[in-house]
């Protein structure tokens, strides 16, 4: 294990602009946002979502990204650890899928129109 927690489900808490969020909540949210704050990872999420069946294996993602296979694997691991993707190994291939509601949870914390 390289990272810490199942974060995306821990994003929880208040809409950020309602109450001055504490240090712990801020750290958890920042951890999830750090996972998102990378061009390669954003494109990975986008590619997985747009791929047929909503799932894609590493081999599908290497070429469109233009990055090496280890780098792609690394980014995918970050996204899985952040709770944004799930990894399912079928035979030789590893299939990745969006975690339902994970991105929306982040979005809802950032939304200000909940007043």
Partner DNA sequence: ACGGGTCATCGACACATGTCAATATCGACG
Partner DNA sequence: CGTCGATATTGACATGTGTCGATGACCCGT
The gap between the terminal CA atoms of the chain, to the nearest Å, is: 39
| Least distance (Å) between residue 91 CB and its own copies | 25
Give me the numbers of helices (H) and strands (E) for the chain, helices first please: 5, 3
Binding site for its own copies (CB under 8 A): 16-21, 23, 26-27, 29-30, 33-34, 36-40, 42-43, 45-47, 49-50, 64, 98, 103-104, 106-108, 110-113
Element (H, E) at 89: strand 85-90
Interaction of residue 51 with DNA, rule CB under 7 A: no
Choose the contact partner of 86 out of its own copies, DNA, none; CB within 5 to 8 A by kind. Answer: none
Identify which of residues 53 and 91 has a Cβ nearer to DNA in the complex: 91
Contact (CB, 8 A) for 95 and 48: no
């Amino acid at each position: 294990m390289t990272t810490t927690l199942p974060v995306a489900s821990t994003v929880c808490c208040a809409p950020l602009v309602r109450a001055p969020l504490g240090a712990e909540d801020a750290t958890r949210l920042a951890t999830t946002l750090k996972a998102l704050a990378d061009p390669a990872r954003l494109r990975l999420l986008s590619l997985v979502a747009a791929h047929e069946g909503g799932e894609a294996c590493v081999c599908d993602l290497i070429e469109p990204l233009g990055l090496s296979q280890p780098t792609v694997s690394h980014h995918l691991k970050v996204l899985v650890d952040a709770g944004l993707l799930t990894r399912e190994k079928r035979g030789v291939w590893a299939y990745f899928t969006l975690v339902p509601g994970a991105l929306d949870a982040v979005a809802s914390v950032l939304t200000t129109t909940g007043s």
